[in-house]
Structure 1
């Protein structure tokens, strides 16, 4: 995420050249002049970087850099779920996340060495990052009782905490020390995280060395009817033909479209259209993500309470969360589209859109686990393989619409398209979606599983009885 704010310091300001737009087309010319008497001073991105420290990329190239991380992000979603199913979240997520961190350290070198090398690094970051999200659902399925999943999945908004800290911190770092330092600082912090991850994280209650027996027993008994640690045969055909799952995927598409738009484009939008300096851009880009964390935790408590008290069915609770999330984002996007040069209105609607997006933790994200706790990581992998295409589709659309056309009219088109993307799939989910446990969550035993049974019986020294009762065993 750090490059989304650092790119402001990386790229030369194209607004003052001969191809710059008419003053009436931009908001910042008037507002910055009133605020500081000099738009150039007000918009300075760094105290130390010079023109030679920056690159001359147009809007299309900038969005290629921002979106390249998603080019192969989809490719490793399903493999990420499969590998997690086999090796566990601790290994898969830890290795994938830290690989992204190490690649980030190479970005300053690649920026001036070769534009294509930078794109390759960004693509490899996304390829590695594709293993991360599916790994999360495996640990949810192994640890969390069904009626408490919304609260736990709200912890996924840790990515919002990272963004909320990264944007203002990196904005200040760019201003004080230059944009290169952003990538070195995040590399150090990523190393600290890796040490904590391997010391404190465990894939299941049975593997945790410090859990109390009472807590372990409560969790395992709560999950006994829906989740097993045994490696089951994956029912691929049933999964890919499941209508409830595809409805969740379409909903996830719209939700991630708006989130990825906010993550990759908010700093550029606030800096370019509204003329805020790098520090204020970082702060205002980060604040909505703090609200997203609070919204996720607060709403998940309410929705889990509705489940525990049985006021509504599981499907009804999930649909309510998805509807508020998607329709609320759609309305906020429409508000941003018509906010024009009113920076306050634009910021308010952006805060609403990002904050309300977090309700997906009690909506479609929890529904993937509801449908199949045993294969939750694989389901989320398939869903992300489709929906993360928004990660480069949204920046590409912005690049095409705003290339040489950084105006409120161009951004209005961006926000209206986003509103349609998030609302239309929710309509289908409201009519046809479900969050009930699917029959294929527990595949019937096949020949391989029967062989496992035989092996266990042999270990118990009952091989003779096994042979004598072969007919009964087959039955």
Structure 2
């Protein structure tokens, strides 16, 4: 049985977003080990009569020098004293032989947020460039250049704090091209009633977090934080090579696609997507479109919630619940695996609702956004009040992140519904504004927790996050729509009858069923060409 070209595209897109988020989150976990102290702990101090030289150069001198301290602190039997000595030696040896960077909470928050400082600037250009030069080039280079920066991060870290900061700013800037550029390819390749499922490939970002947080934790425990960036670089480069050989910008450009699949895609898309340039971009219509702004609002709240938990999750688990680096990596990554699984299952449910006409396209998108913003917000609100309990915190963070998976069937898919021809630009507009929480949230978290790593400070962080999520979800559900917009046409305005006809095609898609019947009748056994 043939492997369909858009199936290959799904997997390459899926891995591409794994790479994209791998670049975002690697510093979130390595910073726990990079700062001075034992895995970032700087609150303990060695006895005043112990010198650093003794600690580093001579273990026997060290044990002799701390013997009076041990005797005073532990008046139990010899075995217990020996155990105390060994633990103290292990702590002190790590602390002074692997001393790290002396960055305070504000400097750490700046590093964590720097990736997003100008990340939003190239969101809109990403959609424009993809329409002109193709997603294959733009998405590939965005990830490729970001991956190359991984090899430089250890060098820049030891060079200076400022150098590392600005390298992360550049890495965030260039990878900002990726997300909006992919919507251009989605609009050209994916039939409308398959969009929810295909857009779930974007949630490869969650698998990237789920996979690499635990892997990075073990890598750091076994070797050092520097190896995290070398692994990221090698993995990313392998994907880049495969992307260049396996992916093409449209079915018409794919040299190995079966003609039956190509006919099915083109007939399913019908007149909603122009094979050639649809004309000048309708900037005014996009800027004044209520449905576009509703997607911006949904993305703002969703990204605020996602990035707050994703960026600061490792720090929260490490400082509040005192997990070691391996547990921190696992607990920070697990929720994102649940997010991907939920996204895939929910997208299949959403496409089922569309195929069977049980809900209109607009109501399916509202349902999905109500889950990814509203329901998630309620779970984060519970985290604010029960986060002092380690078990409850793990469960609530996992469930909250999981519910965000519905975003692939909500605002992300809705942007293609509104205008397949300008989907990349619409996502670019949404990304420029809706992506700002990526750097605003870490800045606010830094202020709230500066010298105040307490459960009360984190309660305020989670309450603010819940407000953003619930508010954006309610606004979207009441005021959004996901029907084909009149400015999707190259004429930027269709007669009312023509517009209603195209919207009906988008909602019911009779062409898709006709095309599938023709394909099934014409299909013959073929070999996999992908």
Normalising to structure 1: TM-score of the pair? 0.87
| Whole-angstrom distance in 2 between the partners of 1:47 and 1:355 | 40
Q: CA deviation at 1:174?
A: 0.6
Match of 2:467 in 1: 420
Q: Deviations over 1:237-287 (max 9, x none)?
A: 100111110011011100001111122111111111100000111111111
SS of 2:386 mapped into structure 1:
coil
Is 1:102 equivalent to 2:129 in the alignment? Answer: no
Among 381, 385, 406, the alignment partner of 2:428 is 381
Match of 1:348, SS state, is helix
**2:31 aligned residue:** 7
Q: Whole-Å Cα distance in 1 between the matches of residues 331 and 259 of structure 2?
A: 46
Evaluate the alpha carbon distance shift between residue 340 and residue 316 of structure 1 in structure 2; reply closer, same or farther with a 3 A threshold.
closer
Relative distance call for 1:273 and 1:46 in structure 2 (3 A) is: farther
Runs of 4+ in structure 1 over 2 Å off: 44-53
The 3 A distance-change label for structure 1 pair 195 and 47 is farther
- CA–CA separation in structure 2 for the residues paired with 1:337 and 1:204: 46
User: Are 2:202 and 1:156 aligned?
Assistant: yes
Contact kept in structure 2, 1:6 and 1:179, CA below 8 Å: yes
The one-character-per-residue Cα deviations of 1:13-43 (angstroms, maximum 9, x if unpaired) are: 344257xxxxxxxxxxxxxxxxxx99x979x
Q: Which runs of 5+ in 1 are unaligned?
A: 19-36, 447-475
Alpha-carbon distance, 1:163 to partner: 1.1
Matched, 1:247 2:294: yes
CA distance in 2, matches of 1:254, 1:182: 30
Q: Secondary structure at the match of 2:272?
A: coil
Q: 1:303 corresponds to which residue?
A: 350
> Which residue, out of 135, 138, 141, partners 2:187?
141
Contact 1:288 1:355 in 2 (8 A): yes
Q: 2:451 aligns with which of 404, 426, 430?
A: 404
Contact 1:46 1:175 in 2 (8 A): no
| Deviation for aligned residue 1:359 | 0.2
**Structure 2, unaligned stretches of length 5 or more?**
1-24, 46-82, 494-530
Cα distance in structure 2, aligned partners of 1:186 and 1:333: 31
**How many angstroms does 1:46 deviate by?**
13
Shift of 1:443: 2.6
**Aligned residue among 343, 356, 360 for 1:313:** 360
* Cα pair 1:77 1:385 within 8 Å, conserved: yes
Quote the residue 1:437 is aligned against: 484
Which structure would you say has the larger Rg?
2
CA distance 1:357–1:41, shift in 2 (3 Å):
farther
Contact 1:153 1:365 in 2 (8 A): yes
Q: Is the 8 A contact 2:374 2:474 kept in 1?
A: no
Note if 1:55 corresponds to 2:101. yes
What residue in structure 2 maps to residue 205 of structure 1? 251
Q: 1:161 to 1:340 in 2, by over 3 A?
A: closer
Pick one of 16, 32, 43 that aligns with 2:43: 16
1:104, distance to aligned residue in structure 2 (A): 1.7
2:178 to 129, 132, 141: 132
TM-score (norm 2): 0.78
Cα deviation, residue 200, structure 1:
1.1
> 2:408, 2:139 → 1: CA distance?
19
Aligned length: 426
Answer yes or no: is the 8 Å Cα contact 1:258–1:418 preserved in 2: yes
Structure 2 residue 341 is the aligned partner of structure 1 residue 294: yes
User: Are 2:381 and 1:354 equivalent residues in the alignment?
Assistant: no
List aligned pairs for 1:69-80, cutoff 5 A: 69-80=115-126
What is the aligned partner in structure 2 of residue 183 from structure 1? 229
